[in-house]
Chain A
Amino acid sequence: MISENISIIDIDATHWNNLFALISGFIPGRGGKAGKKKARGRLFILHDHGKVLKAFHSEQGAITSELKEIDRDRLPEIAKQFDTTLVVLAEKGAARRMMHLVQSRLSLDQNFIEQGFEVYRSVRESFVAGDFASYPFIPLRDIGYSFVANLLKLAVPAGKSIILVVFDERTKDLSGLPIYTSLIARFNKNRELDLLTTTDSLAGKGLERIDDLEKEHKKILKLAEKNFGPVFLGIFTALPALKEMALVPPKDLLKTFPDLVKQGKLIIDPFPLRLKMAIKAEIFF
């Protein structure tokens, strides 16, 4: 859940950029690459009871004259014919019907995640009703807000923070520290995310230099506790170790955690019991 009054402060721009790069899989840079493979197209088809009103190919423009009639069973064949990565089929008026569904369900009393689930429910219903179809098929599971809210209650700490810090000796962030990226997320007593920040918020409050990466996490934890309250989970690592982890298949990642911890490549401190149990039981996989 996200608090209506969430505070997002002191985000070190280099941390933010690097976090995006990590998530995007571009370690450590980003931007255009020479010799990039030419993108395949995507195809959007609008129809009225099977009669094609519009077929738009992202690389070729309108190709409506090449498709007169359509039905959803033909989507794989059409995807192959036009060399597309995605075909989306929409019935005339579908967007308006879906928007009506969404807008008639939203309320100012709902929180943002709850509102998001109302949007998701409407999109899913539009697909189920046949207003939209796609190839490859987009699986839209029947997940409601209450299920996720209950799950979050179990997973998310009340009134505590989660910290992630990735050190890198070759980096100097905006505070001059060797931190590649960091994120501090705090949840309030209602388990709503109410603060998002980076170690930048600790700069000037005692985090002026980092000499020993292995020991520094204690200093960060102490400062974070002092400024933002108790810490539920702290994950500290270095960029080379993170790159090593990136090579591990996702299904094996949790299994490798104990080894990484033993080798000192990953520090989890505090290491909450529920996470230890989850890793042991491999419940996420």
Chain B
Amino acid sequence: MAIEAKRNGLLIDGELRPFWSGSIQYFRTEASLWPRLLDLVKEMGFGFIETYIPWSVHELEKGKFDFGEKSPNKDLDQFLALCQERGFKVMARPGPHINAELTCFGYPRRMLERRECLSRSVDDDLVWLPVAAKMFPAPSYASEAFYEEVQAWYSAAAKVLKPRLHPKGPVVAVQVDNEFCNMFRTSPYDHDYHPDAVRLWHRFILEKYREIAELNRSYHTTYSSFEHVPPARGFEAKEQKDLPFYLDWVEFREFYMQSALSRLKEMLEDAGIRGVLFTHNYPFAGDMPPNNYSELEKFLDFQGPDMYPVKTQYPLVKKLARFASGLSRYPVIPEFSSGGWLFIPVPLVPISLDDQKFTTASILMHGIKGVNFYMIVERERWYGSPVSRNGRVRIGYFEFYQNLNSLVKQSGILKMEKYAPCLMLASRDYERLEAAATILDPLPIISPDLFPPELHAAEDSFGFKRPIQLCYRNFQETIYSALDQAGIGLALGSTSQALSSLKHYQMAAVASFEFMSGEVQEKLRDYVESGGFLIAGPELPVQDERGECCTYLRERLVEKEKIKGEIPCTVFELGKGRLVLIEECFEFKDKKNPPAALVSLMEKLAKMAGAEIKFKSLTEPVETALHFGGGKEILFVANPSPEAKAAKISLPCPCRLKDLESGEEFSGDTTVTIDMPAWKVRIMEVTK
């Protein structure tokens, strides 16, 4: 393959190029200004251009399209030619969903008037999106009629794109659809109940069980065929034996997304879009149902979360960057704020240049290796880009990107690795249970930080010792916060990722309750046996997600030591590695403020695992992250607070730290004190 996504960039004909990109929407700017706009983007130091290709803008009527024949501003080919002349590589995003703050998100209205193309709610209503400048009904990504419509659009767009694909043209990547999240309505019992979606459900259970008897055994039912198994329309489980049906339904929601995106990718390929990378992006959320990074990267080349943060959202920025860094083949942010949208719903707080300076450095600090700044050239319904839509340079903004790009190149940070000896694994089993157990449907489960399971999920324990759907998040988040506060270099991952990727980490942590799928248990056991150090709790599983006896993770454990203290734990040996069981089940309030004893325990366990804590900040809330590679070390120091701090950092040996932006130098033997202004990330070269 001439193009390949690698850990630190895109390998294009043997040359590694970082996906360091800016968005321009050609169709919202004057064609006569395109050369100037592109020149300014080049002047800032970007090598990639990203653009949407909107269906509703190019379609004049069904089957008739304008790609510049009538309106010069729609001349996609000319725009791509200008990109090529300037040496840009291009990511194209032909939808069908593009959002882009366009009325109806880029879908043509005539398609939205065809009921057979549209998603159905649990009550068979159309599914409306509450967005300006007109609320509109969501399409069904299972509907055959919808795919016929998309086919016509893709064929038309592909005719223009094909001659501009790599190696003849600049287009090296194509994004399949946009922010697929069931149109931000993620409750499993909201939609889609379109007849074709119900057929897809039947295909899913057929592929999963093969024999109806097998399904009946799992569900404790007596269905005569798969077609008789109804979709779940609300959570009604009373006992453990009722759960497999609902867990399957949530897994189906993931399958729905995977089958939609893989089908759209195949349709693009059939239309002639081949030899390029295929990508996807997520709205501001991590890897939780219906998202499943691991499954999607089986057919997509790279993906990542979109972010439009203000500086006070630093904890979320950090978490999402860590997810992308721990889960993706190539950790990127496909849309990162360069300004913000002016559209309903508008963000509660506008994004300022100060926000951008702080959050951009933050994503680099936490392991992001590629970014598309959206929008690098302003357009209608957007503010805060470095270049206005008519080519004026925005004071302060333009210089920020010039300096950033120069610093990124000079430091070599994109080619380096973040020091992260520990991987915190999210559990797909328990996240599915959380989603399945929602009783506030159809309210969307957007993010556990905004809408925690304690707020939306049923409180029954279904015969388990405790309500796992409530306890999981408390355990998970408390351990995460404790690892973080202990200063342990951390990445976030998922139990659905491959064993091979786990083995990069000296230490891993995972929530484990009475049930856990056999496949995950085996994977974790193999990780420990091969020398890994696994922190688990509050108990070890005794059954799989179907309720069948399954004890892979318990087997062959040899108790080695009991660590006494406020939070006791037991250390077991297994093969070459160790498993530590923490039997405490933490509370909601512990999530952001973990007990001090737990933070100390994490430090102790990191030492046992051989996971060295490097350049620890001794001043709260200042944080550090070390990156290394090519014989160099770069230390990020962040002050995510509104107050200036004199931050004391412990040093592994006498060091000199040079701020690559300001040139300031700090040095010490065992510690160093660094002046940290409010909301500031320093990027510092380490010399030992």
Contacts and interface: CB of A to CB of B under 8 A. Distances in A.
A111 B134 CA distance: 6
A200 B393 CA distance: 12
Interface in B457-513: 458-459, 470, 474
Contact of B342 (A95, A108, A196): A196
Interface string B420-453: 0000000000000000000111110000000010
Contact of B394 (A46, A172, A174): A174
A77 B394 CA distance: 55
Interface string A97-136: 0011011101010011001000100000000000000000
Contact of A33 (B133, B350, B388, B642): B642
A68 to B, nearest CB: 13
B391 to A, nearest CB: 10
B133 A9 contact: no
Scoring B136, B458, B459 by chain A CB atoms within 10 A of each residue's CB, the highest score goes to: B459
Interface stretch (A58-66, A137-145, A149-157, A210-218): A58-66
B392 A204 contact: yes
A13 B344 CA distance: 17
Contacts of A186: none
A17 interface: yes
A56 B135 contact: no
A32 B390 contact: no
Interface string A2-13: 111111111111
B127 interface: yes
A131 B122 CA distance: 19
Contacts of B396: 174
Given A33-B642, A96-B123, A8 B339 contact: no
A8 B342 contact: yes
Nearest to B28: A9
A95 B388 contact: no
A44 B455 contact: yes
Contacts of A104: 125
Contacts of A6: 132-133
Contact of B380 (A9, A31, A53, A115): A9
Given A2-B133, A33-B642, A56-B454, A108 B103 contact: no
Contacts of A34: 642-643
Contact of A112 (B133, B339, B397): B133
A26 to B, nearest CB: 10
B339 A200 contact: no
A211 B147 CA distance: 60
B353 interface: yes
B641 interface: yes
Given A2-B133, A108-B134, A174-B395, A46 B389 contact: no
A104 B113 CA distance: 15
B122 A13 contact: no
Given A3-B133, A103-B126, A111-B134, A20 B349 contact: yes
Contact of B389 (A9, A33, A96, A115): A9
B383 interface: yes
Scoring B383, B439, B443, B454 by chain A CB atoms within 10 A of each residue's CB, the highest score goes to: B383
Nearest to A9: B380
Where chain B touches its partner, the secondary structure class is: loop
A13 B134 contact: no
Contacts of B452: 61
A102 B93 CA distance: 32
Given A103-B121, A108-B112, A111-B134, A53 B439 contact: yes
Contact of A200 (B388, B442, B589): B388
A203 interface: yes
B113 A60 contact: no
A54 B452 CA distance: 13
B350 A17 contact: yes
B341 to A, nearest CB: 9
A53 B134 contact: no
Interface in A244-273: none
Contacts of A92: 439
A31 B678 CA distance: 11
Contacts of A219: none
A31 B311 contact: yes
Contacts of B123: 96, 99-100, 103
Interface in A1-39: 2-13, 16-17, 20, 30-34
B384 interface: yes
A60 B353 contact: no
Interface string B102-129: 0100000100110000000111011110
A9 B375 CA distance: 14
Contacts of B103: 4-5
Given A8-B342, A44-B455, A61-B588, A100 B380 contact: no
A176 interface: yes
A115 B135 contact: yes
Contacts of A61: 452, 454, 474, 587-589
Nearest to A203: B392
Interface in A158-213: 172, 174-176, 196, 200, 203-204
Interface string B565-597: 000000000000000000000011100000000
A26 B126 CA distance: 41
Contacts of A200: 388
Given A62-B470, A96-B441, A102 B128 contact: yes
B130 interface: yes
Interface string B522-549: 0000000000000000000000000000
Given A31-B642, A33-B642, A62-B588, A46 B439 contact: yes
B343 interface: yes
A108 B136 contact: yes
A19 to B, nearest CB: 8
A112 B641 CA distance: 39
A4 B133 contact: yes
B352 interface: yes
Interface in B363-422: 378, 380-384, 388-390, 392, 394-397
B312 interface: yes
Contact of B353 (A11, A13, A106, A108): A13
B395 A99 contact: no
A2 B132 contact: yes
23 contacts: A2-B132, A6-B132, A6-B133, A7-B380, A13-B350, A13-B353, A13-B394, A16-B383, A17-B352, A31-B642, A31-B679, A33-B642, A34-B643, A46-B439, A54-B458, A62-B470, A96-B441, A99-B121, A104-B125, A108-B136, A111-B134, A112-B133, A174-B397
Interface of B: 103, 109, 112-113, 121-123, 125-128, 130, 132-137, 190, 234, 311-312, 339, 342-344, 349-350, 352-353, 378, 380-384, 388-390, 392, 394-397, 439-443, 452, 454-455, 458-459, 470, 474, 587-589, 641-643, 679
9 A-B pairs with least C-beta separation: A61-B588, A103-B125, A13-B384, A11-B383, A32-B642, A62-B454, A56-B455, A115-B135, A61-B454
Given A99-B123, A119-B130, 15 more contacts: A11-B342, A12-B383, A32-B642, A46-B440, A64-B459, A95-B441, A96-B122, A96-B441, A100-B123, A103-B123, A103-B127, A106-B128, A108-B134, A108-B137, A204-B390
